[in-house]
Amino acid sequence: MLVNTSRELIDTVKKIRASESTIGLVPTMGYLHDGHSSLIKLAKLQADFVLVTDFVNPLQFGPNEDFDSYPKDLERDLKIAHSAGADLLFAPSIDELYGKDEVKTSVRVKGLSSLLEGAERPGHFDGVATVVTKLFSLVGEAKAYFGEKDYQQLQIVRTLVKDLSLPIEIVGVKTVREPDGLAMSSRNVRLTKEEREEAKTLYQVLLLGKELIKQGLSDVETIEQEMIKLFASNTIAVLDYVCIVDSKTLEPLKKVTNEARILIAARFPSARLIDNIGVSIP
């Protein structure tokens, strides 16, 4: 089932609640892949009715970013969502979701929004937080599923829900990867053959960092330098950052003593990619 207006969505959700069915919400920016399918399938196992949103949110793109070229294929998304178990796809236009006038209200999660991706893409997470809050408002009580590939986004959404006391349970789902380890992303289709081959280096760099920590190395600066060396020797992409942070606050660490997250971001000529991996010290 496809709906394009907020009114249709609200009316459908009312009917679902009247039947005392639970709702699983999977927010996406479309151009679905196996990573999205894994979110939908898990939602189907845990909820009675699965609602997928398909909306490329302009508020989270900067003036020189790839909003206009971001891949879109609604017919394809419908087939993938349905095959994975979705009951409804909500695909509004920009005017439908935000209106024709300038959006004057913005949601910001302080601290978390200014680190890492927030520093590289100012305003990005304000756009994410704003659209997510709007979707949560339209749907109401639900379980919402987000992939760990966008780990910083996941932490921001968790904080947003907690701080605003929203009736939403956030479920983080492990990153789905290609056979060579590359994290699945809608932007992967834009990579050239050469870029795609080099892109697997991101995961290799993360694995190196994790292995060094498991071997007993705890000095973050030393670990990061080794990861940077591996990246530089395997790809011509530009490294935006590779860092080891606290898994909850995302603050940079000097020593790895407990749970941590290793994050990486790199720019290829055709696309910018991000990835991350968790590591814990026994």
Catalytic residues, which ones?
Answer: 36
Using alpha carbons, select from 97, 107, 105 the residue that is nearest to residue 159. 107
Q: Which residues contact 79 (CB under 8 A, 6 or more apart)?
A: none
Residue 68 CB-density burial (10 A; 0-12 exposed, 13-18 middle, 19+ buried): exposed
Measured CA to CA, the distance from residue 193 to residue 191 in angstroms comes to 7
Measured CA to CA, the distance from residue 156 to residue 131 in angstroms comes to 13
Measured CA to CA, the distance from residue 266 to residue 8 in angstroms comes to 40
Using alpha carbons, select from 75, 83, 5 the residue that is nearest to residue 50. 83
List the structure tokens of 192.
């050239």
Indicate the length of the chain as a whole number. Answer: 282
